[in-house]
Chains A and B, each alone.
Chain A
């Protein structure tokens, strides 16, 4: 690498770092306001809250029926993760191992739901789901969330499977393994790290997926992020602290899984789109 030593270059580098720092500082301060406010008794016209309390968490838990919301959220996320694993992993295996006609087209079909923003395809999708009768219900939210998740698992896993040597499978065949033994003793152990990482990412993305869940969820099938949206939307009605307490709970829920996921994958993969 070349490191320029002219005064101009050094100044430029300082400017770049200051801008980066300014961005990160603002994001951090924004998060800090949410956390501080959720613990504040009163926070008006001052730099810091007057005093601190934890009662907003109890209030928020009761007000927004967060036990219900959390149960529904995790049920939805669990089913989505399970189904996208069951559908996406075999698809990734086929795409990685075979060169069947129409493979490019299949890849394109898997890429599109990841590239088209959810709000664009979400409105026609929600319309169809409402007409079928699952709109506003548990399965509607699950089905809508499958649209980006299944292709995501498939696309993320293709390069992972490609780098596993097919000779290992061939060897197992030669030694007389049937398809179930092959799967149980050869494929599963080799695929497991990649599959786990992909599914963890699906989990984080589904918890945070607002648009699709919002468009198809009804009162009994709201996920945490949708409930948060509605409470911010009606923010005049309730105490800001109680909304922020909910926001903190949402952040913690997401961050725990994000940190677990980051142990296995590179941060850039979370963005998870084709280069």
Chain B
């Protein structure tokens, strides 16, 4: 004999509630709509717009035009030539400093000092560096007074001006991220290494480095992406028609000076693709390293 068990019938609302969809979860909708309308949609729109060239031609006419004109496609190399060294340099600089600061008691003072250039932004830094690094600026004056150089170094309106400005605005960000990763590694692991007789260098290369690689890879990606899309300092401190004609300048000029929105979008898309490729390569390379817990313990 079977007993018919009648399933309690749930109302539509109850069934939704079981999946945690109710009035509270709907609160996310307005913000999501904003992001979709102002971030996702413009991106898709940009992709489609870039495939409708203003000057006619095929679907990919903009892309073909970009890659057949050296003045255009060289911007990729110029931008990489700027972004990659700055990113690597700030990472290499940030790592040892983070290892020192980790031992400090009052980290907050240093982090506060470092946050200021990030907040003030690239425009102010560019304005300051135009004076400071200029031929009559303090930087050259000090070097001349110390007889390290015979003539003032040319540091503005060229590659180095942009390099320094990216370093000043980018380094604090890289550093703060590195610091958070370095402090995340359990000090017990290092103590264990020291107990077994490893010196500082061996502890760094054999204990810290393998654990830090995944974090540093993310850090590299975030800093690189920022440096790759440099605009104000390349325009103000660099040579925007020459050696620091970065992709952002090319895209801006196409869209808002020649009013060829289609070409501008195409360059912006190429810019995003280059960033994506580099980020993809770095993240793929990360898989060759250990990934997992950075805390010690049993097991």
Contact = CB atoms under 8 A, between A and B. Distances in A.
A271 B27 contact: no
Contact of A87 (B30, B100, B119, B222): B30
A270 B119 contact: yes
A120 B123 contact: no
Contact of A101 (B19, B34, B112): B19
A52 B19 CA distance: 69
A34 B128 contact: yes
Interface in B154-198: 168, 171-173, 176-177, 179-180, 187, 190-191, 194
A98 interface: yes
Interface residues of A, number: 94
B131 to A, nearest CB: 4
Contacts of A240: 131
Interface on chain A toward B: helix, strand, loop, or mixed SS? helix
A3 interface: yes
Query: For the side of the interface on B, what is the size category?
Result: 35 or more
B129 A2 contact: no
Contact of A271 (B28, B45, B128, B177): B177
Interface stretch (B2-10, B67-75, B229-237): B229-237
B5 to A, nearest CB: 28
Contacts of B97: 16, 19-20
A208 B120 contact: yes
Contact of B41 (A98, A128, A229): A128
Contact of B232 (A110, A116, A210, A262): A210
B295 interface: no
A143 B224 CA distance: 27
B174 to A, nearest CB: 10
Interface in B248-285: 248, 251-252, 255-256, 261, 264-265, 267-268, 271-272, 275
A101 to B, nearest CB: 6
Nearest to B109: A267
A29 B38 contact: no
Contacts, number: 262
Interface on chain B toward A: helix, strand, loop, or mixed SS? helix
A271 B228 contact: no
B229 A119 contact: yes
Nearest to A34: B128
A264 interface: no
A95 B148 CA distance: 58
A196 interface: no
Interface stretch (B53-61, B134-142, B286-294): B134-142
B25 A98 contact: yes
Contact of A23 (B171, B180, B218): B171
Interface string A30-45: 1101100100000011
Contacts of B218: 275
Interface stretch (A61-69, A71-79, A170-178, A248-256): A248-256
B108 A121 contact: no
A268 B27 contact: no
A116 B172 CA distance: 18
Contacts of B1: none
Interface string B5-39: 00000000000000111101111101110111011
A127 interface: yes
B118 interface: yes
Contacts of A244: 127, 131
A94 B39 contact: no
A166 B129 CA distance: 51
Contacts of A154: 31
B35 A93 contact: no
B190 A2 contact: yes
Contacts of A100: 19-21, 25, 28
B46 interface: yes
Given A251-B124, A271-B176, A117 B228 contact: yes
Contact of B123 (A124, A210, A267, A270): A210
B125 interface: yes
B200 A9 contact: yes
A123 B46 contact: yes
4 tightest CB-CB pairs across the interface, nearest first?
A124-B46, A91-B31, A90-B27, A117-B229
Given A24-B113, A232-B130, 14 more contacts: A33-B138, A44-B136, A110-B31, A119-B231, A119-B251, A123-B268, A127-B45, A210-B121, A228-B123, A228-B124, A232-B127, A247-B124, A268-B115, A271-B118
25 contacts: A19-B97, A26-B139, A29-B139, A30-B131, A30-B132, A33-B138, A34-B124, A91-B31, A93-B27, A94-B24, A94-B28, A97-B24, A112-B35, A119-B248, A120-B229, A123-B264, A123-B268, A130-B261, A208-B119, A225-B124, A235-B130, A243-B127, A255-B116, A267-B108, A271-B172
Interface of B: 19-22, 24-28, 30-32, 34-36, 38-43, 45-46, 49, 93, 96-97, 99-100, 102-103, 108, 110-132, 136-139, 141, 168, 171-173, 176-177, 179-180, 187, 190-191, 194, 199-200, 203, 218, 222, 225-226, 228-232, 235-236, 248, 251-252, 255-256, 261, 264-265, 267-268, 271-272, 275
